[in-house]
Amino acid sequence: MTLPQTPSFDLTGKRALVAGASSGIGAACAVALGQAGAEVTIAARREDKLEELASDMRDAGLFAQTLALDVADIAAAEDKVATHGPFDILVNSAGLARHGPALNADPGDFSAVSDLNLKGAYFLTRAVAKGLINAGKPGSLINITSQMAHVGGVDRSVYCSTKHGVEGFTKAMAIEWGPLGIRVNTVAPTFIKTALTASTFADPERSKWIHEKIKLGRVGEVEDIMGPVVFLASDASALITGTSLLVDGGWTAD
C-alpha cells in the first residue's frame, strides 16, 4: 500500500506577522515561526525590545524584521499591514488586562482593554485577511486568547468579555473566509510564566487557586505555546478553522 504522508510543519517561504512580539508569549511565537522557516515580521509598540529580539533571532540564523505597531490604533495598523503585507500568517499576541471586581469596573479601563483585546484584534485580523484576499492567497490567522475566553474568573469580568468576543468573531470570520482558503483560529493558554503574570504568581492565594485548577500540576511556560502556534500556522492543521486550541493543562476540563 501507499503510505499516507504526514503534512508538513515547515513554513519556509511563508511571511508571518507577529503582533505583541516584544516579550513573553508573542516573542516566543516569533521565534517558533522563525525556527519553522518563516520570514517573521515582529511588531509591537516597544521598538527597543523589538530590535533586541530581532538581533537575537538573526544571530540564531532566523529571519526577523521589525515593525512599530499599536494594534489599538486601527487606522495606522491597517495602513502598515497594507504597506508591508501580504502576510501568510498572523499571530496576534497583543493584549491588556486590568483586573478587579465587576462592581468596581471603570468605563475607562473597560474601553482600554476592549480597544486592544477585542476591537484591535478584530481589525488587525481583518487587515491581514484583506491583504490575502487581494493577493488571491490562502493563509492562517491566529489570535492568542486565553482559557478565560471559555470560562469565568474572579476579578476578570472585563478581560473575559473581550476574550470571549475574540472567540466569537473567530468563528464568524472562519465561516466567511473558509471558501477562500483563509483559516482563522485561536490559541487559548492557561496562566503562563511571563513578566506580566509575575505579580499574580506572587500572590499566595491566587497561586494556590491556579495550581489547583491546572490538572497537569504545573503552570505554563512560553515554550508550551510555541508548538501549537506552529501547528496552526502550518499545513499540518489544514482542515482546522473556526476553533480554539486550548493549552490549559486541563483547566477547562471540569
Active-site residue list? 159
Q: What is the DSSP string of the chain?
A: -PPP-PPP---TT-EEEEESTTSHHHHHHHHHHHHTT-EEEEEES-HHHHHHHHHHHHHTT--EEEEE--TT-HHHHHHHHHHH---SEEEE---------GGG--HHHHHHHHIIIIIIHHHHHHHHHHHHHHHT--EEEEEE--GGGTS--TT-HHHHHHHHHHHHHHHHHHHHHGGGTEEEEEEEE--B-SGGGHHHHHSHHHHHHHHHH-TTSS-B-THHHHHHHHHHHSGGGTT--S-EEEESTTGGG-
Cβ distance 192 to 225 under 8 Å? yes
Check whether the bond before 86 is cis (ω within 30° of 0): yes
Cβ distance 128 to 87 under 8 Å? yes
Positive or negative torsion for Cα 130, 131, 136, 140 = negative
